[in-house]
Structure 1
Amino acid sequence: MTGSFGLDLALLMLRVAAGGFLLPHALGKLLGWFGGPGLGGFAGELRGFGLPSAAPLPLLLALLQVLSGLAVLLGWQTRVAALAAAAFIGFTTLLALPKGWFWMRGGVEYPLMWTFILLAIACAGPGAWALDGPLLQGDLA
């Protein structure tokens, strides 16, 4: 068996937090759930940052965020999914740079924290309690 109980538990908690926090934001962009803007509003947000917003880009970005958040949460293709999510949130961090450090002013503090958490998951892997993990795959050697 790889890892230890404490490490596997910590990786599970990190994955649940990262995927669990990312997924509702993504579903808000994709479907307008949880008070999110939906695809039209997300396209408007992209335009507001001076970024391309023509279809199908908002759809593809929202799908990327939904799929990467769900994959991190479940521990499926974890390293790739965490890297994809980190890239998405890392770009958000760059967009927040002009507003300074503090998130309460729209700064980089919060997205930078999530970028580093996702990068840590990408580096460490999913742990044993994941769809990629040895316990769920029956590979305990």
Structure 2
Amino acid sequence: MAASTTGLDLGLLVLRLGAGGFLLPHALGKLFGWFNGPGLSGFADELRGFGLPAPAPAPLLLAVLQVLCGVAVLLGWQTRMAASVAALFLATTAVLALPKGWFWMRGGVEYPVFWTLALCAVALAGPGALALQSL
């Protein structure tokens, strides 16, 4: 690794670890109910609460896709595609939270917008040299 790119590659690693590392527990909570998550039935209820359809197997497929995106971003594999899909998830969450305002402590868009932007940065910049797809 060239000295001029070491900082950039480390920065991209930190960004990927943060973005994938924060996404993954939320996804696992939806899929398995881990980390006090809602599990699949609770996730389906959340979708319906936003006025979205949630027929089986849609919640399962969405949760699995989110888990795969989190793992892929974390490891740096198919990073641009995984980060783009994950950003779409978070952007959708932000749109659904718009009626509650800006601040996340009131259920607003602040948190999902932040992670949408972080994932967009990963999608645009790529995984860097310290990634599975760079091996």
* TM superposition score normalised by structure 1: 0.93
Distance in 2 of aligned mates of 1:122 and 1:132: 14
Distance in 1 of aligned mates of 2:104 and 2:48: 21
Q: Does 1:34 align with 2:35?
A: yes
Question: As a proportion of its length, which structure holds more helix?
Answer: 2
Distance in 2 of aligned mates of 1:110 and 1:42: 18
1:74 corresponds to: 75
Aligned partner letter, 2:18: A
Identity of aligned residues (%): 72
2:130 corresponds to: 129
2:66 alignment partner, SS class: helix
* TM superposition score normalised by structure 2: 0.97
Distance in 2 of aligned mates of 1:78 and 1:23: 14
Distance in 2 of aligned mates of 1:34 and 1:101: 25
Which 5+ residue runs of structure 2 have no aligned equivalent?
A: none
May I ask how many residue pairs the two structures share in their alignment?
134
Q: Does 1:56 align with 2:57?
A: yes
CA shift, 1:86, in A, is 0.2
Distance in 2 of aligned mates of 1:98 and 1:109: 12
CA shift, 1:46, in A, is 0.5
1:132 alignment partner, SS class: helix
Please provide the CA RMSD for this pair: 1.0
Distance in 2 of aligned mates of 1:72 and 1:16: 7
Runs of 4 or more above 2 Å deviation: none
Distance in 2 of aligned mates of 1:132 and 1:10: 17
1:12 corresponds to: 13
